Structure 1
Amino acid sequence: MTALERLADLAGGMMLDTARVTAVTRLPGEFVRVELAADAFGKATWVPGAKLQFRPRRGTLSLRTYTPVRWDAGRGVTELLGFTHGDGPAARWLRQVADGDACEVFGPRKSIDLRDPAGPVVFVGDESSVALACALRTVTADVAHVFEARDPAGLSEVLAGLGLDAQVAEKTADRAEVLRLARSAAGPATLVVTGDAATVHAVRRDSRTWPRVPREVQGKAYWAAGRTGLD
């Protein structure tokens, strides 16, 4: 181990909390549900939409960000839903994780605040947004879900298994279908859009021309083609 790796582990020991994996469920479409338990979770205040970061590899301070699906402070337990597409350190960790494993976490921290949406919600996202949709369900059921995916049938299967009724469009460069579905969703008062940075930008811009312009818009890019470091 190099001096830099030792320094990263020393800093991580001061900054990060240790959590233990208490359940792993592998879902279709490269999704994994992971339940984590930690003493620190019982002392934390969770807001639906907040983020939790974890360190998938020691010897570095590189963290990966996920949206907890639920939070049980009484038991000191939370649950993450990860999409394992790609070959990054978090995807590799999720593919290998097993009950009883330990990991290091940081948070929860502020991201999107879903506690008080203004009326009916139109939710637009992709595979990286599924956990946020589940977190929103803890607040309101008055949601029209629209997703884009490279494999619409596969994502539809996952969403149905999670109890999320959604329309899923095939991901295209012009985003025409996801824009059409979002525009036609009934009665939006709040728009929540996350996922691909280009889609977030396109939906926010298009929403200004909707028959019913959203009173509140919450958007956050989770990833962008050719870039790293986004939440």
Structure 2
Amino acid sequence: MSTEGLVPPELLELPVVLRHLHVVRVVDITPHMRRVTLGGEQLGAFRAEGFDLTPFVTHNPDDFVKLFFPDPETDVLTLPEQDDGHLDWPRRPAPTHRSYTIRRYDEAAGELDLDFVLHGDGIAGEWARTVQPGEKIHVAGPRTSTVPPKRAAWWILAGDETALPAIAHYLDAPPADTPVFAFAVVPDAADEQAEVEGITWLTRRDGVSDGKQLADAIGELSLPEGEGWMWIAGEAGTVRELRAVAKALGVDKSMLDASGYWRQPVTGGVLKRVRTLRAQATETLAGRI
């Protein structure tokens, strides 16, 4: 398709609201992915701290919210204070929070889905492993929303399992008349999400980085002529490798959305791997990583 009239991605600033929600249900999507559905009156407009606060809103599939947890050492929950359209964050003690991509928001049903990768022993993962319907949690955001480009010649979506909520959300309503090429690396074939159409699944292989697997798969594409958009996310080293792929494809910086969601520990053999990835990269990570 012609990219005449191409409109690059647009960053929107949103009012930030701290909401007290409850768990509606918990469902295992795959052996390593659990979906937690949140609900509550505060997904709508409400009044708190003397302010009239706006309903929950999201514009883009990779919008994210922050979840707040008790401090793992003191078990004390510290929250930011609600102000008019933003939050005031205390420094000591600082709130303990983690960011998660919105998988689905159903305004009519009053439900917010968040998908959690069950690996490691992080605060959010442990919460997702044990949480039960009825339990409460504080949620804030989204603070910003990046609207995808219009009239791009093609889209590439790529990442590891932590990128799956956003990739699947994009594929729920792909752009009309624009080819979308989506790739995801998962631990095992059982982690492929059968209900999501349009993803090329790559099973993780020993001795081969996720970035290499994704780069090889992208390299086999025959892309249409014209300027395309590339969205990449996942482990920081993987994102480094894929930024080099984007550069080789001639993707303009304004048409690249790159997010490092997490980092491999840099000890032992992993340190050597990270150094290798750095040597292969041609650009540094985006500031949001």
**TM interval, short-chain normalised:** 0.7 to 0.9
Q: Is the contact made by 1:167 and 1:181 (CA closer than 8 Å) also made in structure 2?
A: no
Aligned ranges for residues 75-114 of structure 1 at < 5 Å?
A: 75-110=109-144, 112-114=146-148
CA contact (8 A) 1:197 1:223 kept: yes
Judging by fraction of residues, say which structure has more helix.
1
1:24 to 8, 19, 26: 26
- 1: CA distance, partners of 2:146 / 2:262: 15
Q: Which residue of 2 aligns with 1:56?
A: 69
Quick one: higher RCO (CA 8 Å, sep 6+), 1 or 2? 2
* Displacement of 1:186: 3.9
1:70 maps to which of 84, 88, 104? 104
- Structure 2 CA distance for aligned equivalents of residues 181 and 144 of structure 1: 10
Task: Tell me if the contact between 2:115 and 2:165 (Cα under 8 Å) persists in the aligned partners.
Answer: yes
When the two structures are superposed, what TM-score results if normalisation uses the length of structure 1? 0.79
2:201 to 150, 167, 171: 167
In structure 2, relative to structure 1, the CA distance for the partners of 1:164 and 1:91 (3 Å cut) is farther
Paired residue secondary structure (2:102): coil
- Alignment coverage as a number of residue pairs: 210
Deviations 1:96-138 (A, max 9, x none): 1112211111112226544747242111100111111122124
Structure 1: unaligned runs, 5 residues or longer: 1-14
In the TM superposition, structure 1's runs of 4+ consecutive aligned residues that sit over 4 Å from their partners are none
Q: 1:38 aligns with which of 36, 40, 64?
A: 40
Structure 1 residue 185 and structure 2 residue 221: aligned?
yes
Cα deviations by residue, 1:77-106 (Å, 9 ceiling, x for unpaired): 211111111111111110011122111111
Work out the percentage of aligned pairs sharing the same amino acid.
Answer: 21
Kindly report which structure 2 residues correspond to 1:99-138, keeping only aligned pairs within 5 A, or say none: 99-110=133-144, 112-114=146-148, 116=150, 118-138=152-172
Contact 2:65–2:140 under 8 Å retained in 1: yes
| Distance in 2 between residues matched to 1:175 and 1:134, nearest whole Å | 19
For residues 94 and 190 of structure 1, the distance between their equivalents in structure 2, rounded to whole angstroms, comes to 33
Q: Find the partner of 1:205 among 235, 244, 247.
A: 244
Counterpart-to-counterpart distance in 1, 2:28 and 2:134: 16
Output the TM-score relative to the length of structure 2: 0.65
Deviations 1:159-202 (CA, angstroms, capped at 9, x unpaired): 22444532315252483322110222342721110001111111
Q: CA separation in 2, counterparts of 1:102 and 1:218? A: 33
Tell me the C-alpha RMSD between the 2 structures: 2.5
Residues in 2 aligned to 1:119 and 1:86: alpha-carbon distance in whole angstroms: 39
1:218 aligned to 232, 236, 257, which one? 257
Cα distance in 2 between the residues matched to 1:115 and 1:79: 25
